[in-house]
């Protein structure tokens, strides 16, 4: 017996909406930084090669959506002490099947991890980063992280979730010493001035 031919019509692609949104969003984004432009092209190449790039089951690597949450006045950034990473990082995580796109995933993650409502998100990417990690699959992989800028309402009081050891507002120009390396460049680059 000959097995049926696999076609796009009979294959379900995990997180197809996130994948399509990622291609659209990154294709339209024109970062000023040459390194970010090169990284955008690498992301688009990975997305072209991997229709399952939006799902955490994509072992070679998968998209994640992060939120750089600034205070209402832009003077502080909300960081979480991540239990698996052991450093202060931005909020964010894996895209889920119900997410309409990357910005929606970043907003959902920020809301879940901070307990803050009424966050405002800029739908344009802020920054891209690829980093090796052993995540929930228990296997070494890479996160293709797309970061978005969010603003908290005035007098926002975050509530730590079970996904965090600590959750703290840090001055944008004085992050903790053990902040994730990619976040060191954000204040100096002017990205946080938006």
- Extents of the domains making up the chain: 15-193
In Å, how far are 6, 55, 121, 128, 149 from 95, measured between CA atoms? 26, 7, 16, 15, 17
Checking if the pLDDT of 10 tops 50, the result is no
Which tokens is 174 given? Answer: 């004085």
pTM for this prediction: 0.88
Task: Share the mean pLDDT of the chain.
Answer: 87
Residue pLDDT, tens place only, 163-193: 888 999 999 988 888 887 767 665 544 444 4
Residue pLDDT, tens place only, 107-150: 999 999 999 999 999 999 999 999 988 877 678 899 999 999 99
Of 133, 127, 148, nearest to 86 (Cα)? 133
Per-residue pLDDT at 2? 47
Lowest-pLDDT range of 90-104, 155-169, 174-188: 174-188
**pLDDT band, residue 9 (cuts 50/70/90):** very low
Topology classification of domain 15-193: Nucleoside Triphosphate Pyrophosphohydrolase (3.90.79)
**pLDDT band, residue 154 (cuts 50/70/90):** very high
**pLDDT band, residue 12 (cuts 50/70/90):** low
Residue pLDDT, tens place only, 64-82: 999 999 999 999 999 999 8
Per-residue pLDDT at 192? 46
59 touches 93 (CB < 8 A): no
**pLDDT band, residue 156 (cuts 50/70/90):** very high
**What sign has the CA pseudo-torsion 88, 91, 95, 101?**
negative
Q: Is 93 exposed, middle or buried (0-12, 13-18, 19+ CB in 10 A)?
A: buried
Per-residue pLDDT at 194? 42
């Amino acid at each position: 017996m000959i097995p049926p031919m696999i076609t796009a019509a009979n294959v379900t692609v995990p997180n197809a909406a996130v994948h399509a949104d990622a291609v659209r969003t990154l294709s339209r984004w024109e970062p000023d930084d040459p390194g970010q432009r090169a990284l955008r092209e690498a992301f688009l190449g990975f997305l072209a090669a991997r229709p399952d790039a939006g799902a955490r089951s994509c072992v070679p690597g998968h998209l994640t959506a992060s939120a750089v949450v600034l205070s209402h006045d832009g003077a502080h950034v909300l960081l979480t002490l991540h239990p698996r990473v052991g450093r202060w990082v931005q909020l964010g995580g894996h895209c889920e099947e119900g997410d309409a796109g990357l910005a929606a995933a970043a907003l959902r993650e920020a809301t879940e991890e901070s307990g803050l409502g009424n966050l405002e998100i800029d739908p344009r990417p802020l920054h891209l980063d690829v980093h090796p990690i052993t995540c929930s699959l228990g296997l070494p992989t890479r996160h293709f992280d797309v970061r978005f800028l969010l603003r908290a309402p005035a007098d926002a009081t975050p509530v730590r979730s079970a996904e965090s050891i600590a959750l703290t507002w840090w001055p944008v120009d004085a992050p903790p010493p053990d902040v994730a390396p990619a976040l060191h460049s954000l204040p100096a680059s002017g990205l946080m001035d938006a």
